[in-house]
Amino acid sequence: MTATYPPATPIWCAGCGHFGVQAAMSAALQELEIPAHETIILAGIGCSGTVQNNLGTYGYHALHGRVLPTATGTHLANPDLTVIAAGGDGDGYAIGMGHLVHTFRRNPSFTYIVMNNGVYGLTKGQDSPTFQSGVEALEFDAVSLALSIPTTTFVARGFARWTAQLHRIMVAALQHARDGQGFAFLEVLSPCVTYNDTYPLWEATLVDIDANGHDPEDRNGAFQTVSELAENGHMAVGLIYRNGADQSGTTAPNPAAAVVDPADNAAAYAELLARYSF
């Protein structure tokens, strides 16, 4: 018998946007019929990172800012697993920023969900890289960054309160990664009601681009849409960009599939050692 992990009760404050993100994750996994034992959620540090306790999948709590290299290694070791990295804006856009850029560049087939609330909630309210003091455009926009890197294949943004759209985007992200089509980046605007309640700001300024005829396969058009909205104090929400070309074979190689039996490699090892013999 295999022991199963009983999901924990969320520890989040009442009204926290992370409840909506977790509900969307759970519903998407159910809709795609991905079994818990074929799924792992790797989480960053912060309130959002506790999501990996709350679903009955495998879970792993990574070091601060290191969820992406950990998830990349997990995906390479077992490409059959559905790998979901999840964390906050502090974890992913501050200490983890270098890893984000290089994960966009490498395009490994797993999903990354960033619960962006513009604040460090777990440590009681310090400004994060995406803190907004008013309706002005974000000082740092991960969606624009993603669009500027030519190897990105899936870029989306949801809002925790727009549950129907968030569900659709979550399903699309998981499907993209499961199909081996590359890195599915999904930022979810997920307000921290205790330290930075952005529900009123975001409800007044977000624009649902899915409802406005946006073509998600046009990278330049996506960049223009996101930039123009930002100039006017708005943020684009929806499926912002998806590369429609088949990405099979363009993502990171699978070292787990390599032959590592010493007997099969003896000649190559001998040749290598001979180069260092004096």
Residue 185 pairs in a beta bridge with 112, 155
d(CA 53, CA 63): 16
Contact 13, 193 (CB under 8 A): yes
Report what 89 binds from ligand SF4, Mg ion, none; CB cut-off 5-8 Å by kind.
Mg ion
CB neighbours of residue 204 within 10 Å = 10
Residue 43 pairs in a beta bridge with 61, 86
Residue 130: closest CA among 154, 153, 100: 100
CB burial readout 258-276, b (16+ within 10 A) else e: eeeeeeeeeeeeeeeeeee
Which of 117, 152, 153, 181 touches Mg ion by CB under 5 A?
117
Of 11-19, 66-74, 89-97, 235-243, which segment contacts ligand SF4 by CB under 6 A? 11-19
Which of 12, 104, 131, 241 touches ligand SF4 by CB under 6 A?
12
Contact between 193 and ligand SF4 by CB under 6 A: the answer reads yes
Tell me which DSSP letter residue 258 carries: S
Residue 160: closest CA among 6, 56, 12: 12
Contact between 13 and ligand SF4 by CB under 6 A: the answer reads yes
Q: Which is nearer to ligand SF4, 19 or 140 (CB)?
A: 19
Calculate the alpha carbon distances from 274 to 259, 264, 267, 268, 271 in Å: 22, 18, 11, 10, 5
Contact between 18 and ligand SF4 by CB under 6 A: the answer reads yes
Instruction: Give the shortest CB-114-to-Mg ion separation in angstroms.
Output: 9
Instruction: Give the shortest CB-124-to-ligand SF4 separation in angstroms.
Output: 8
Report what 90 binds from Mg ion, ligand SF4, none; CB cut-off 5-8 Å by kind.
Mg ion
Instruction: Give the shortest CB-210-to-ligand SF4 separation in angstroms.
Output: 26
One character per residue 58-97, x = contact with Mg ion (rule: CB under 5 A): ------------------------------xxx-------
Q: What are phi and psi of 62, to 5 degrees?
A: -80, 170
Contact between 117 and ligand SF4 by CB under 6 A: the answer reads yes
Cα-trace Rg, the chain: 20
Contact between 121 and ligand SF4 by CB under 6 A: the answer reads yes
Instruction: Give the shortest CB-194-to-ligand SF4 separation in angstroms.
Output: 4
Token pair in block for residue 248:
């099979």
Q: Which is nearer to Mg ion, 17 or 88 (CB)?
A: 88
Instruction: Give the shortest CB-93-to-ligand SF4 separation in angstroms.
Output: 15
Q: Which is nearer to Mg ion, 72 or 196 (CB)?
A: 196
d(CA 147, CA 141): 10
Contact between 53 and ligand SF4 by CB under 6 A: the answer reads no
d(CA 84, CA 59): 10
Binding site for ligand SF4 (CB under 6 A): 12-13, 16, 18, 47, 117, 121-122, 192-195
| Residues found near Mg ion in the complex (CB under 5 A) | 88-90, 117
